[in-house]
């Protein structure tokens, strides 16, 4: 059962990496792990520590919650950046942004 979990995590990492069109080498560098280590993880041959999973997921530009729930990972990169930026706005700024988007969308 444990091996299945790690194989599933590896497959999820590989799927998201390919969806984002990120090379294995690039993701390995972002996560500060060797490319061969990433390859073993993606194929389920190596069981990564929680810290390594966290670094890989961060290298994919996701939080652990997003990665495991697919909450945001289905968004295109441009929309993901917009969501990330909007999350940092104050409530007043979000309201202003919504009014602006509503005005643009009326055209």
Q: What residues of the chain score a pLDDT lower than 70?
A: 1-7, 70-75, 107
Report the CATH number at residue 67: 1.10.260.40
CA distance 81 to 97: 15
- One domain for residues 43 and 56: yes
The structure tokens 């929680």 sit at: 50
- One domain for residues 64 and 93: no
- One domain for residues 53 and 81: no
73 in Cβ contact with 16 (< 8 Å)? yes
Sign of the Cα pseudo-torsion (59, 12, 21, 77, in order) = negative
Predicted pLDDT at 70: 67
Phi-psi sector, 75: left (phi>0), alpha (psi -120 to 50), beta: beta
What spatial distance separates the first Cα and last Cα of the chain, rounded to whole Å? 55
Encoded tokens for 22? 């990120």
Helix, strand or coil, per DSSP, at residue 47: coil
Which residue range forms the structural domain that includes residue 54?
Answer: 1-73
- One domain for residues 43 and 89: no
Predicted pLDDT at 86: 85
CA distance 39 to 69: 23
- One domain for residues 21 and 61: yes
CA distance 33 to 105: 44
């Amino acid at each position: 059962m444990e091996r299945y979990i790690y194989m599933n995590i590896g497959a999820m990492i590989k799927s998201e990496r390919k969806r984002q069109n990120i090379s294995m080498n690039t993701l390995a560098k972002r996560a500060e792990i060797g490319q061969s280590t990433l390859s073993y993880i993606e194929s389920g041959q190596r069981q990564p520590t929680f810290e390594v999973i966290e670094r890989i997921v961060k290298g994919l530009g996701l939080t652990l919650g997003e990665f495991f729930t697919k909450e945001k990972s289905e968004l295109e990169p441009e929309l993901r950046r917009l969501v990330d930026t909007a999350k940092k706005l104050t409530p007043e700024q979000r309201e202003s942004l919504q009014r602006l988007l509503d005005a643009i969308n009326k055209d």
